A and B are shown apart, each in its own frame.
Chain A
């Protein structure tokens, strides 16, 4: 069971080539002296320019902060909702599940515009302007259903008697919940969080409509260049992000391997 076959290795390697080919292109062009798609010689220029650009650095931190907070809140809200929904029965349950899928099936632009109208309406009543908080709310909004979608199958497959057993063994309901339910659901919760984080990092349309005058994230920054050329500094930024993530992965992996060997 634990030994990885050759076929498996080849298959996964092929998929990885497919997934990383475009990344390789981005890295390649980040060193391109020419601003066009033709190769014009090697340069580090774009990396230096990147750190000088306030707008890009600002957009980067905004993007990361929103992604972290949105996936955090969405995961909490979504997990609670999934447990709640699984305890509902019959028509009510069907109804709630259907509503839950609406954000997933609405085209981004529709959701973006409708949220903009909503926030404008609320903004006039409560006197606030769109900005960081409205973007965060919108991101939580489209992330939650993905958490629900990922946690639900886990709940369905979970043995109810485990929770009861924990209670019988003297756990308080909270302890039983934390140690049994959350533990059992963890892979689902985790993939929900991961997907939320990923969607939030990538979102353009909804951010565009809810960001207001002072907020800009990476996607809105890049998409606004649609009638012009994408500057190579953005490639440099992607390359750096990529390198940082890979480094973290490698470090953690090395540590895990060591810990495993000690055992």
Chain B
């Protein structure tokens, strides 16, 4: 258990498959077509500032909403009988095993005018299309990443010592106090894992906004995707900036969480 050696194969692995590729990206971002040092690519990334901000904003909203939805659910599920818990967790994961693009495509059909949601709301007199806007993009994000918020929180909650909860109750705490003073503080590591696992991919994803958003809902992932092969220096520069933004976010997160959490 005390062995540090267990991390050695991982370190070697990370060096080859993560550090070296990362260096390659940085080199590409800071060079021009002739391989000389250049800041031009970085400067070309500047006009996309508001796309960055919008992507981070959409990612933030999606993450918060995921947390708001997944946290009560994780708590509820952790209180169930074990066999029921297993079924619910599995049911939550199964949709993720259908292809990503197909699921997004299905959402377009669900939200479009004349689709199921429209038909349902038409019954009470509201008619319209619910796709091609930012809200639809956020719905798509929540759908894609909700299980990745749920799973870590649920895992941590399952680990909370029942004895602690009982002790708190014996000492006269009511339900909300038990939650506030015992369960919530102990679930923070799970929350932080969950936020990381939702925020990061939703900030850099592509296709979702392209399918569910309107003309103004282009995200930074889409820009990287489109620009990388025309000009890989600019593509690399944008990626680098995105990674730095995300790193800053994670460091901030860490301030709120306990010092052992991510980053």
Contact = CB atoms under 8 A, between A and B. Distances in A.
Determine direct contact between A and B, CB below 8 Å: yes
Interface of A: 1-2, 4, 8, 11-12, 15-16, 18-23, 25-26, 29, 37, 77-78, 80-81, 83-85, 87-88, 94, 96-111, 113-115, 117-118, 137-138, 141, 144, 146, 149-150, 152-154, 156-157, 160, 163, 176-177, 181, 187-188, 191, 194-195, 198, 201-202, 204, 218-219, 222-223, 230, 234-235, 238, 241-242, 245-246, 249, 253, 256-257, 260
Contacts of B189: 152-153, 156-157
A101 B250 contact: yes
Interface stretch (B6-14, B31-39, B43-51): B6-14
25 contacts: A1-B79, A21-B110, A22-B107, A26-B106, A77-B10, A84-B3, A84-B4, A84-B7, A99-B18, A104-B197, A105-B200, A105-B204, A114-B25, A115-B17, A150-B193, A153-B152, A157-B159, A191-B151, A195-B197, A230-B102, A234-B102, A238-B98, A241-B98, A249-B91, A249-B94
Contacts, number: 258
B105 A83 contact: no
Contacts of A108: 204, 206, 221
B186 to A, nearest CB: 8
Nearest to A106: B243
Name the interface size band of chain B: 35 or more
B10 A84 contact: yes
Main SS at interface, chain B: helix
A11 B71 CA distance: 12
Contacts of A102: 14, 18-19, 22, 243
Contacts of B201: 104
Interface of B: 1-11, 13-14, 16-22, 24-25, 69, 72-73, 76-77, 79-81, 83-84, 87-88, 90-103, 105-107, 109-110, 116, 143, 146-148, 151-152, 154-156, 158-159, 186, 189-190, 193, 196-197, 200-201, 204, 206, 221, 224-225, 228, 232, 235-236, 239, 242-243, 246-247, 250, 260, 262-263
